[in-house]
Structure 1
Amino acid sequence: MRRILHDLKPSYEHSKSYVEFSLPSSQHDLPCIYQTGDQIKGDIFFKPCRDIILRNVCITFEGITKATIWEPNIETRTGCPCTTQRFMRLNQPVDEPLLSEGMVLEPGRTYRLPFLFVVPSGLLPQACQHPCEHTEIKCHHLNLPPSLGLGFYPNPKGKNRFSSSLEPDTASIAYAIRFTAIEVKRETNLPITSVDRAHKIHVLPKLPEMPPILIPGDNTTYQLSKVIAVKQLNREKLGRLTATASQPKAIQLGQIHSRPMQPTPTMLAINFEFLSVNHNRSPPKPKKIQSKLNAVTHFGIEPYEDLPDRIQQRYLYPRHRSFCRNITLSSPDIISVHWVKQCSEMDGTASGENKNVVYTASISLPIVLPENVVYTPTFFSCLVSRTYSLRVDAFFNKVPFMSKVSLTIPIQICSDIASEQN
């Protein structure tokens, strides 16, 4: 099934020529999502409003990143500092005799221009020419980034509604099919742009799971282990509670050409250790666990030389910013923790009556993401990146207080799935 998609506003308002893009629609009459290796096939219908002495016609498939930083002390007369990078530009040869150089296009006549592009698997080396800390950063920046901030994400609960997105208005990655017609000005015989129109499309490249990240010792973004003291009302110490977790398996996006696009759940394992100061003290009882997904969009008006979630960018990189949105995840109603007594150690007192007792336990927490949100895969590009983390708060009852231990664990969202479009 095909449909005519209206073009965006023309870049040159003096041109009122008719231009429309014809692209296939998805199964649910929504904009298609194109993945690595998918064909972007369609037609452009061009009807000039007057005689045009044609110089050339150009059809391109482009990718553009835009990042803006708002800061009162660096705002310029022309507005906030902004950087735009065209990281990809693929040209479509136009093999149409009626649209060759020197031809006169007639007003009111419709010209059809077919086009065919294939979503590439990566970018050319010239797309990332700035210095990087090491080759891994360069490899990340040469991966094809996903669309970000397009504003037309489909809502799986209704084909005429749209889902909420997780990125700010100040960062975007857009792909578009662009049509440009250059004519020769009769009076000056100089070339001018007669028509410049573009139609945005949604690109979701295949981004497989990356190895678990190595977190530097001075990193404050993630916290995989936390130790808290459990005390009584009189501040007498009952013991020490330690929670530890590791990065879970990545969340995989569902079939992108079907609705709903439900992410596959994953499991998070959390290990607990309670060191009691006295063998008569039992470990605390679990009360509840709360979890949320932190979606962080990193963006800047200067290229990143390192991965943004590994650095303290606010101080080291003042021209970079991070924008975080939180999604509350469902939690189990009943938390069952089975404490296992591991060992007993003398506490060093003369009598030897008191012993430090160690208890261990572990839980598996299912991580299920809501369906009504658009999730961009984890990626890193020169100006814009997206990372995710899990914030887990575990509450334990120990009269008269409730103790809380919190962890922040990195997690990936991937899109390494088979396409249904081919």
Structure 2
Amino acid sequence: MVATSVISRGSETLDVFTRRSQPKIEIDLVGQKPGLVNSYTTGDHIEGTVSVTVEHETRFDEIEIALQGVSRTTVERAACPGRTGSQHMFLKLKQPIEENDYPAPRVLEAGRKYSFPFEFVIPDQLLPQVCTHKRKNNAIHRSHTMIPPTLGDPMLAGNGKALLDDMAPDMSLISYIIRASVLRRSSSDERQVKAMANFAKKVRIIPIVEEEPPVDISDHPCEARDTVSTVATVSLRFDPAGDEQPPKLGSMISKLKASTFYSASPWEDYPFQSGTTPFSQVGQGLFTESVPLSTMCVGSVQWQKHSTMTSCERRDSTESTCSEASTGPSSEFIGGTYYTASIVIPVNLPHSKTFVPTFHSCLMSRTYSLDLALSYHTPGTNVLTPTISLRVPIQVTTGLQYADSVKSELGVVVTQAELDEFFSPEIYRPSRE
């Protein structure tokens, strides 16, 4: 028992000495403000300096400075209890360091500060080899090689006090860091390199994302073209079975639904954007969150009467004998009188959430839909107020102006334990096919 106690104290002393003798690394970013994390967008330059100091004379071989982007997912196992997941390093940009920037010999002296400047440019696309898995169409490869936004990280609001939720589950994460390491090669095998010290600083990436052509969204595809704006116009049509009057409208409720798809294996196709179809593949997950937008009383909306019995003549702007609306007849419509109405709905995103742009990557996707629910009152009935619903897939894009407006975020420094866990060996690696 005594010997064991002596060995334990000796091990603790050696461990403390080892930690104290490790090089100390600091990362300073240009434009860094205390307590805030720098945010960048496509084409921005990340500039800064890595500083290294030691308490004792320390030999080393190389300083590595890299911008790394990693996606990580966790899903429930199907066969047995527990979880499994994947990690994919989709971006790694290394800062070249010239030979004359190193001290000669490669020894760090106590009491001196060694500085190594770096500069990275945020690309708009990833290298093709980061996405080499099987895929069902070429559009998937293009989507998977677009740089994704930071996801799964709270963002500081403009007032510097409130954290904004990006509506991502704990099971999915996309993170970017500047990582600096002091490396030493093994004396017995130079191919083996050991990190004597690591340090990382988190940065936020909000890429510029332009509107993409629509993709298949369900088992009932259709084609449409519309202009995205801050309002949505809903066209209604009522086809009476006889001489019934159109129902009186009640209220219109609008919500924005954010869907985060994640998987332990790469997606071969775009996930279902409706967010309602169960997945047939094991190891896939879906997390949805709806954000209320508005509740409008639309009882004052007036129906316009039309008829197909007369020739289509254009009268004035408020009356017509033929439908000029985009809403077509129902399958039971046999002709005659019908009614139409239009409702203009404001679509204003709340400031309490972070809406990352729509994206698709190898392990996860984020899509959005506008959910509308219209209540109405049927004349002569006392049943519960019926409701009809409509879900419209939409794209959230990011322009330069928006990206510039969110460049002040919550400050986070990654600890050594978090660094070791985050950059553990990858489970998913691109194949060499």
Report the counterpart of residue 379 of structure 1 in structure 2. Answer: 359
Where do 5+ consecutive residues of structure 2 fail to align?
1-17, 310-333, 408-433
Cα offset for 1:217?
3.2
Distance in 2 (alpha carbons) for counterparts of 1:407 and 1:23: 47
Q: SS of the residue aligned with 2:37?
A: coil
Distance in 2 (alpha carbons) for counterparts of 1:13 and 1:27: 29
Q: SS of the residue aligned with 1:33?
A: strand
Q: Counterpart amino acid of 1:212?
A: P
Q: SS of the residue aligned with 1:46?
A: strand
Report the counterpart of residue 329 of structure 1 in structure 2. Answer: 293
Q: SS of the residue aligned with 1:413?
A: coil
**Of the candidates 134, 144, 150, which is equivalent to residue 131 of structure 1?**
134
Q: SS of the residue aligned with 1:297?
A: strand
Distance in 1 (alpha carbons) for counterparts of 2:195 and 2:32: 33
**Of the candidates 206, 210, 213, which is equivalent to residue 211 of structure 1?**
213
State the Cα deviation string for residues 300-355 of structure 1 (Å, max 9, x = none). Answer: 0100011112598744322111100110112334454221112267xxxxxxxx99
Amino-acid identity (%): 28
State the Cα deviation string for residues 343-370 of structure 1 (Å, max 9, x = none). Answer: 267xxxxxxxx99631111222111110
Distance in 2 (alpha carbons) for counterparts of 1:173 and 1:137: 19
- Is the Cα contact below 8 Å between 1:60 and 1:90 reproduced in 2? yes
TM-score by length of 1: 0.77
TM-score by length of 2: 0.75
Instruction: Count how many residue pairs are aligned between Structure 1 and Structure 2.
Output: 359
In structure 2, relative to structure 1, the CA distance for the partners of 1:355 and 1:172 (3 Å cut) is closer
Cα offset for 1:113?
1.4
Report the counterpart of residue 281 of structure 2 in structure 1. Answer: 317
State the Cα deviation string for residues 19-39 of structure 1 (Å, max 9, x = none). Answer: 221113478973222011000
Distance in 2 (alpha carbons) for counterparts of 1:291 and 1:111: 57
Where do 5+ consecutive residues of structure 1 fail to align?
1-11, 225-244, 251-264, 346-353
In structure 2, relative to structure 1, the CA distance for the partners of 1:176 and 1:83 (3 Å cut) is same
- Is the Cα contact below 8 Å between 1:313 and 1:321 reproduced in 2? no
Q: Does 1:341 align with 2:305?
A: yes
- Is the Cα contact below 8 Å between 2:164 and 2:353 reproduced in 1? yes
Report the counterpart of residue 361 of structure 1 in structure 2. Answer: 341
- Is the Cα contact below 8 Å between 2:218 and 2:272 reproduced in 1? no
Alignment of 1:291-306 (within 5 A): 291-306=254-269
Q: Which has the higher helix share?
A: 2
Q: Counterpart amino acid of 2:166?
A: S
Alignment of 1:87-236 (within 5 A): 87-95=90-98, 97=100, 99=102, 102-151=105-154, 153-156=155-158, 158-184=159-185, 191-218=193-220
Distance in 1 (alpha carbons) for counterparts of 2:335 and 2:124: 61
User: Looking at both structures, which has the greater relative contact order when contacts are Cα pairs under 8 Å and sequence separation is at least 6?
Assistant: 2
Alignment of 1:239-318 (within 5 A): 249-250=227-228, 266-279=230-243, 281-309=244-272, 314-318=278-282
In structure 2, relative to structure 1, the CA distance for the partners of 1:185 and 1:110 (3 Å cut) is farther
Q: Which has the higher strand share?
A: 1
In structure 2, relative to structure 1, the CA distance for the partners of 1:101 and 1:328 (3 Å cut) is farther
In structure 2, relative to structure 1, the CA distance for the partners of 1:101 and 1:71 (3 Å cut) is farther
Q: SS of the residue aligned with 1:145?
A: coil
State the Cα deviation string for residues 232-280 of structure 1 (Å, max 9, x = none). Answer: xxxxxxxxxxxxx967644xxxxxxxxxxxxxx622221111111222x
Q: SS of the residue aligned with 1:144?
A: coil
Q: Does 1:370 align with 2:350?
A: yes
Distance in 2 (alpha carbons) for counterparts of 1:275 and 1:199: 62
Distance in 1 (alpha carbons) for counterparts of 2:55 and 2:153: 30
Report the counterpart of residue 398 of structure 1 in structure 2. Answer: 378
Distance in 2 (alpha carbons) for counterparts of 1:89 and 1:67: 19
